[in-house]
Amino acid sequence: MSQEKTQTPQPARRPTGSFKHEPLSFEYPRHGHSGVAFRPLDVPEQDPARAMPGASLRQDGLERLPQLSEFDVVRHFTRLSMYNVAIDSAMYPLGSCTMKYNPRINETVARLPGFTGMHPLQPDGLSQGLLELMHILLEALKEITGFAAGTLQPAAGAQGELTGVLLIRSALEARGEHRRYMLVPDSAHGTNPASAHLAGFQVREVRSIKDGPAKGTVDTAHLAEMMDTEVAGLMLTNPNTLGVFEPEIVRIAEIVHAKGGYIYCDGANMNAQVGITRPADYGMDVIHLNLHKTFSTPHGGGGPGAGPCLCTAELEPFLPVPRVVKEGGEKDSGGKEPSYRLEWNAPQSIGKVATFHGNVGIMVRALSFILAMGPAGLREMTETAVLNAVYLRHMLKGVLKASTEAPTLHEVVFSDEGLATHGGINTMELAKRLMDYGFHPPTVYFPLTVPGALMVEPTESEPRAELDRFVEAIKAILAEADTNPELVKTAPHSAPRTRLDETRAARKPVLRWTPPE
């Protein structure tokens, strides 16, 4: 990104009331207050030093911790929340992140005491409701992806990826094969190569096609060249990070399988596929889903999410433990009531990836979403998500340059080709200026294969009027850039902060508050 040095007339400095300047909680005066009250102690009080002889105790008395009333705390965090833009308040078309509406009922059902109060190690007999819930969710995800088995344990997409590549690695080791390499397309998300590395693989990059109608998709000739018996498999995002369904997907699977490899499918883009096509049916071996994307659980400013991992019957023996097992309740079980238990014994399992059973609270929300949608609703979700993205692409034709000629599904990536003709602005500046128009910017500079990428994913949640407003905003910004480029280059002007100095933050890191000298 170019550093602009030119000085331009700054727009009026924004108000500097305390409204935009909430101190750190540590900077409030300390008056010995606490925001909580305790009921009377109903057991004899013990002095920690005497109760824990031989233990070294804290000497600093935690003097610098905040000492606030309940109301101080409410105001502090309410103000902080106001400095955030969120999907609830604005269109948030972050490509690859699937920022959709997070239904409120999911927050309500997730807070039922019969869920929140459950200990992960309590006997299975006391956990029947949640085990049943996890079973129903996993069955639904199996149906949606077409796979035979799965685990809900991974805490997020990246942990699902790690789980998936570990399954592949274990399956190969069980065959006595020590394959060293994992293929990852150059357009893949950064977590893919990072996960492959954690599973002990060396990453080899597969090229995507550089020109022509198939631009951006996997170069199958290059893949065939690279795929040999030293290679464990391929990590493939489909539709790829340009939003294009890999036209040669069947051929890709054949190439990898012919050499005894496996295909890991990054399911971050499932919002283009639910009810329309199933990864297992087109030859994938294992997939992770992001419940916090496709299945609408709130992103929470960066988690918690959940990254279930689903796989073929061949990879099933290697799934993490414990697994939820249903017993009885089938037609042939002689009328026996169904019951559920956790099976810990699986000799070939990769082991555990999470401390306990994963982000169960997120599973509850995702199932609630699936149930609200139903089969037809899920299909309608996918269709509308794709329609909205195709509509944006259509409306921005001649305004921004799409990165591919091929049809795209749930997202569209624009390149910066021609952008600089508008007053020399770049992708980041366009993105920042969108904030002043009331939008969260799209994903920028990803995928790395597209110069100055602007990756837009509106999801099914945006009404047409908002999509139209987004298109108008882009056009207005380009027009501004033609006449007053500095206005765009110094954006945002209406956000709680102007451009922040990231270089300074990284050069001289200040990573915590320390008391003033």
Partner 1 sequence: MRYIPNNAPVREDMLRQMGIPEIGELFRSIPEQLQYKRSLEVPGPLAEDEQLDLFRQLSEKNLDQGHALNSFLGAGAYRHASYLVADSLLQRGEFLTAYTPYQPEISQGTLQAIFEFQTFMTMLTGMEVANASMYDGASACAEAVLMADRLKNGRQRVLLAQSLHPLYREVVRTHTRFMGLELDTLGLEGGGAPGSSGRVDAAALKSALGDDVACVVVQQPNFFGVVEDLAPLAEAAHSAGALLIVVVNEALSLALLEPPGAAGADIVVGEAMSFGVPLYFGGPYLGFMAARDEFKRQLPGRIAGETVDTHGERGFVLTLATREQHIRREKATSNICTNQNLVMLTALINLTLLGREGLLETGRRNVSHLGYFRGGLAGLTGYRETFGGPVFNEITLTCPRPAADIVHGCLKRGVLPGLDAARLLKPGGGPPDADRLLVVAITETSRREEIDALLAALREEGK
Ligand X SMILES: Cc1ncc(COP(=O)(O)O)c(C=O)c1O
Under 8 Å between Cβ of 146 and 282: no
Residue 102 binding ligand X, by CB under 6 A: no
Work out which of 193, 307, 322, 458 binds ligand X, going by CB under 6 A.
307
Under 8 Å between Cβ of 180 and 327: no
Q: List, as own/partner pairs, every contact residues 68-76 make where C-beta atoms lie below 8 angstroms and the sequence separation is at least 24, other chains included.
A: 68/25, 68/28, 68/33, 68/34, 68/35, 69/33, 69/35, 70/35, 70/36, 72/28, 72/33, 72/35, 73/25, 73/35, 76/22, 76/25, 76/28
19 binds, among partner 1, ligand X, none (CB under 5 to 8 A by kind): none
DSSP per position, 213-224: TTTTSB-HHHHH
Residue 441 binding ligand X, by CB under 6 A: no
What are the phi and psi torsion angles at 426 (to 5°)?
-120, 180
237 binds, among ligand X, partner 1, none (CB under 5 to 8 A by kind): ligand X
Work out which of 133, 156, 360, 450 binds ligand X, going by CB under 6 A.
156
What are the phi and psi torsion angles at 183 (to 5°)?
-90, 135
Residue 76 binding partner 1, by CB under 8 A: yes
Q: Which residue has the tokens 């399954």?
A: 167
Which residues, 209 to 248, sit near partner 1 by CB under 8 A?
Answer: 244-245, 247
Of the pair 179, 421, the CB lying nearest partner 1 is at 179
Q: Which residue has the tokens 């998709």?
A: 217
Of the pair 375, 482, the CB lying nearest partner 1 is at 375
* Whole-number Å distance between alpha carbons of 161 and 266: 7
Of the pair 289, 419, the CB lying nearest ligand X is at 289
Number of residues in contact with ligand X under rule CB under 6 A: 12
* Whole-number Å distance between alpha carbons of 383 and 390: 10
Residue 22 binding partner 1, by CB under 8 A: yes
Work out which of 68, 130, 149, 266 binds ligand X, going by CB under 6 A.
266
The window from 151-159, 278-286, 394-402, 496-504 that contacts ligand X (CB under 6 A) reads: 151-159
- Contact string 393-412 vs partner 1 (x = CB under 8 A): -x-----------xx-x---
Min CB(268)–ligand X separation in Å? 3
* Whole-number Å distance between alpha carbons of 199 and 206: 19
Q: Which two tokens stand for residue 256?
A: 């990898």
Which residues, 94 to 123, sit near partner 1 by CB under 8 A?
Answer: 94, 97, 99, 101-103, 105, 107-109, 111-123
Min CB(154)–ligand X separation in Å? 9
* Whole-number Å distance between alpha carbons of 308 and 144: 13
Residue 336 binding partner 1, by CB under 8 A: no
Residue 379 binding partner 1, by CB under 8 A: yes
Of the pair 96, 368, the CB lying nearest ligand X is at 96
268 binds, among partner 1, ligand X, none (CB under 5 to 8 A by kind): ligand X
Of the pair 108, 421, the CB lying nearest partner 1 is at 108
Using alpha carbons, list the distances in angstroms from residue 8 to 11, 151, 268, 409, 485: 9, 56, 42, 41, 10
Under 8 Å between Cβ of 459 and 98: yes
Min CB(158)–ligand X separation in Å? 3
Work out which of 208, 241, 312, 368 binds partner 1, going by CB under 8 A.
368
Return the exposure string of 158-183: e unless at least 16 CB atoms fall within 10 Å of the residue's CB, then b: bbbbbbbbbbbbbbbeeeeeebebbb
Reference 493, options 436, 455, 454; nearest CA is: 436
Of the pair 429, 457, the CB lying nearest ligand X is at 457
Please provide the distance, in angstroms rounded to a whole number, between the alpha carbons at the two ends of the chain. 37
Q: How many CB atoms lie within 10 A of CB 150?
A: 26
**In the chain, what's the furthest Cα-to-Cα distance?**
81
109 binds, among partner 1, ligand X, none (CB under 5 to 8 A by kind): partner 1
The window from 24-32, 206-214, 311-319, 411-419 that contacts partner 1 (CB under 8 A) reads: 24-32
Residue 268 binding ligand X, by CB under 6 A: yes
Residue 311 binding ligand X, by CB under 6 A: no
Of the pair 471, 482, the CB lying nearest partner 1 is at 471
Number of residues in contact with partner 1 under rule CB under 8 A: 205
Which residues, 221 to 240, sit near ligand X by CB under 6 A?
Answer: 237
Q: Provide the binding-site residues for ligand X, judged by CB under 6 A.
A: 96, 156-158, 189, 191, 237, 266, 268, 290, 305, 307
